[in-house]
Amino acid sequence: MFGLDGPEVLAADSLGLIRGMTDSVAAFDEARAAAEAVELPWPADVITDVAVCGMGGSAIAADLVVGAYRERLRVPVTVVRDYYLPGWIGERTLVVLSSYSGGTEETLTAASQALERNCPAIAITSGGKLGSFYASEGVPVVPVPPGLQPRAAILRMLVPLVVLLHRLELAPSLVPDLEEARSTVASAVSTLGPQVPETANPAKQLARELQRSVPLVWGAELTAPVAVRWKGQFNENAKVPAYASVLPELDHNEIVGFSGMPAPLSELALLVLLRDPRQHRQVQRRFDLTRELVEPHVARVLSIEAEGQGALARMLDLVMLGDYASLYLALLRAVDPGPVEMIERLKQRLAQTGYGRSPDPGA
Ligand code: PA5
């Protein structure tokens, strides 16, 4: 059996993603300090709503924050994963340009529109055009250290968003949440890290369960964006197909498809339910009842519950578990979790042409 214990197993992780997780608390603290230090040149009462523009690893940070605070946010916060800003975004919309590399074309296109529309804008980035050109145009920058994979910089992209919401008074009492979330991250590193043997390490055990399966990850409310994070981490770190869906919506369509699941897919499908003790009572029932209906059509079902008090802590509890499990799954599959060659190749191909605004079809 392929082992997950011992320093030699980390040799396959050429970019040091697993070792990098050990720095999660430092990443949390540095990100918090950087976001607290950045000067915000507009008064808080100007902001009527927020749009966070980003893609992939830089967008999921925003999904997680919106998911954690959806009941406490005082203004609408939207995540934009597109070239174009929606029409309603205007001079009182805070546009957060979230791009780890600072070179993602969708985010840069949105950035130029935000400037055209005179939106208050701020960037969270390690550099690229966002960190140079847009900074020279007066866009404040929350700096992120370069040299990481965007998805490995999740805390560095996420914590600044929470700090900004707090500083702009767009959601109440976020400081205790941040403190508890930091402890959650510290505890995950000490209980799930590579130094903990598989017999005592839930993330390694989860990776073992997921071997030779196609994970179908379901979330709801606070865990809905976590399901998407797990899916993305299984895709990018472990290089496996994985799918995420959200309750209650999936009860209105997706469940029907399980009855026609082809046998080879049934044998591979491993359903992971991401539960949270504070989910709506009907959502709890939906998890139970939907599981009953679907279980005969999949190979296995795992149910995992978030632990913690505050929303951010409960969320990061699951995010850390999924992140570690996806990295260990890569090792079990004998693949290098770091490089994402498909994404790089696609970006290079796209970069061969300009990505400015397309001609207006109506013009
Ligand atoms: O994980 C990845 O590498 C991607 O999902 C990137 O985050 C995505 O392509 C966007 O790039 P960036 O985060 O640099 O804006």
Which of 15, 101, 141 has most ligand 1 atoms within 8 Å of CB, for mutation?
Answer: 101
Rounded CA-CA distance 145/101 in Å is 10
Res 177: pLDDT: 94
Around 116, how many Cα atoms within 13 Å sit in the side-chain half-sphere? 11
Rounded CA-CA distance 209/193 in Å is 17
Residues carrying an active site annotation: 236, 252, 347
| Residue pair 277/310 in contact by the 8 Å Cβ criterion | no
Distance from residue 309's CA to the centre of ligand 1 (Å):
30
| Residue pair 77/94 in contact by the 8 Å Cβ criterion | no
Q: What is the token pair recorded at 251?
A: 């009860």
**Ligand 1 close to Cβ of residue 101 (< 6 A):** yes
Rounded CA-CA distance 236/55 in Å is 14
Which residue, judged by its Cα, is nearest atom 11 of ligand 1? 104
10 Å Cβ neighbour count for 7? 9
**Ligand 1 close to Cβ of residue 56 (< 6 A):** yes
pTM to 2 decimal places: 0.95
Rounded CA-CA distance 294/315 in Å is 25
**Ligand 1 close to Cβ of residue 99 (< 6 A):** yes
**Ligand 1 close to Cβ of residue 129 (< 6 A):** no
Task: Of 64, 70, 24, give the one whose Cα is nearest residue 306.
Answer: 64
Distance from residue 22's CA to the centre of ligand 1 (Å):
21
User: Exposed, middle or buried: residue 71 (CB in 10 Å: 0-12, 13-18, 19+)?
Assistant: exposed
Atom of ligand 1 nearest to the CA of 57: 7
**Ligand 1 close to Cβ of residue 125 (< 6 A):** no
Rounded CA-CA distance 101/59 in Å is 12
Distance from residue 113's CA to the centre of ligand 1 (Å):
20
Largest CA-CA distance found in the chain, in angstroms, rounded: 65
- CA 5 vs CA 15, 24, 196, 249, 255: distances in Å: 19, 21, 8, 40, 38
Which residue, judged by its Cα, is nearest atom 9 of ligand 1? 56
Which residue, judged by its Cα, is nearest atom 8 of ligand 1? 56
Distance from residue 46's CA to the centre of ligand 1 (Å):
30
Task: Of 85, 80, 76, give the one whose Cα is nearest residue 55.
Answer: 80
Which residue, judged by its Cα, is nearest atom 15 of ligand 1? 99
Res 361: pLDDT: 47
For 81, the 3-state DSSP assignment is coil
Which of 17, 58, 63, 64 has most ligand 1 atoms within 8 Å of CB, for mutation?
Answer: 58
**Ligand 1 close to Cβ of residue 100 (< 6 A):** yes
In order along its 363 residues, the chain shows pLDDT tens digits of 678 998 899 999 999 999 999 999 999 999 999 999 999 999 889 999 999 999 999 999 999 999 999 999 999 999 999 999 999 999 999 999 999 999 999 999 999 999 999 999 999 999 999 999 888 888 999 999 999 999 999 999 999 999 999 999 999 889 999 999 999 999 999 999 999 999 999 999 999 999 999 999 999 999 999 999 999 999 999 999 999 999 999 999 999 999 999 999 999 999 999 999 999 999 999 999 999 999 999 999 999 999 999 999 999 999 999 999 999 999 999 999 999 999 999 999 998 887 766 555 444
**Ligand 1 close to Cβ of residue 225 (< 6 A):** no
For 215, the 3-state DSSP assignment is strand
Rounded CA-CA distance 245/249 in Å is 8
**Ligand 1 close to Cβ of residue 213 (< 6 A):** no
Res 357: pLDDT: 62
Rounded CA-CA distance 112/84 in Å is 10
| Residue pair 97/107 in contact by the 8 Å Cβ criterion | yes
Q: E-strand spans in 47-92?
A: 49-53, 77-80
Res 64: pLDDT: 98
Distance from residue 68's CA to the centre of ligand 1 (Å):
22
Distance from residue 266's CA to the centre of ligand 1 (Å):
31
| Residue pair 333/240 in contact by the 8 Å Cβ criterion | yes
Distance from residue 55's CA to the centre of ligand 1 (Å):
6
The residues with which 204 forms a beta bridge, in sequence order, are none
Cis omega (within 30 of 0) on the bond before 160? no
| DSSP assignment letter at 74 | S
- CA 239 vs CA 44, 55, 165: distances in Å: 42, 19, 34
The residues with which 274 forms a beta bridge, in sequence order, are 304
C-alpha gyration radius of the chain = 21
